[in-house]
Structure 1
């Protein structure tokens, strides 16, 4: 999977994004700013935690939403699907984020104990723009091409 530097224009439906840590002997800090080091404005953020490793999360796509996902602590495996390409990646470092664009099916598997995911979203929560079945996603993905 391609990794880009934070702030580069994102043209892929998904990719890893390298975030620049700043720090010294006191610790590290990563700053994320709308339209500066990510390509969209942040309208919502949420975090996922205390997820049992045996549960699968996600299992949906979005028609009008971009996201940046960061494993603040721990790790989990993402399955990403564009309708043409299906790929698995591990998200396991707080300085490497996962950009997920529109019309990308995502599933999250194999959460480590203590895994904490921070998600930055380009839109407010709108349940009507979720694509919740894989068959519907495949049909809509074909129409987008």
Structure 2
């Protein structure tokens, strides 16, 4: 299942004080986490992402609000995932195009990556991505 995007559910621990979600690299996500960033302040008309990565795998979690994630594997398979629970996320393997969109006003999209940032591993042109995937 590591070659296509799929949903993850993280355990919730809670009582009358509230909820706690713990996420550990390798144990709860399928890689060692090397980078964490988050996206907020995007309105519903904005499309973020619009790229694929040659080396990086990602887990995306909307810790507040909601958004949608459209994935494309370059082989004719597209999926749309709704992220609207702080204890659920999507795993996105390397070489999968991703678009994040339809952000709610309060959306905070947490992103965990398997690699440190390297602009050289990004494919930002869909035609280039499709060409690369036809050679794989």
- Per the normalisation by structure 1, the TM-score is 0.89
Q: In 1, distance between residues paired with 2:22 and 2:62?
A: 15
Q: In 2, distance between residues paired with 1:143 and 1:91?
A: 32
Correspondence for 2:88: 96
Correspondence for 1:31: 22
Is residue 16 from structure 1 mapped to residue 16 from structure 2 by the alignment? no
SS at match of 1:32: coil
Correspondence for 2:78: 86
Superposed CA offset, 1:16-66 (max 9, x none): 001111111111111111111111011110000011211111100000001
Which runs of 4 or more aligned residues in structure 1 lie more than 3 Å from their structure 2 counterparts after TM superposition? none
Which residue of 99, 111, 136 maps to 2:128? 136
Superposed CA offset, 1:51-103 (max 9, x none): 12111111000000011100001111111000120111211111111100011
Gaps of 5+ in 2: none
Gaps of 5+ in 1: 1-9
Q: Would you say how many aligned residue pairs link Structure 1 and Structure 2?
A: 135
Correspondence for 1:44: 35
- Per the normalisation by structure 2, the TM-score is 0.95
Larger RCO (alpha carbons 8 Å, 6+ apart) = 2
Q: In 2, distance between residues paired with 1:12 and 1:23?
A: 33
Q: In 1, distance between residues paired with 2:131 and 2:19?
A: 44
Kindly report the root-mean-square deviation, in angstroms, between the aligned alpha carbons of the 2 structures.
Answer: 1.0
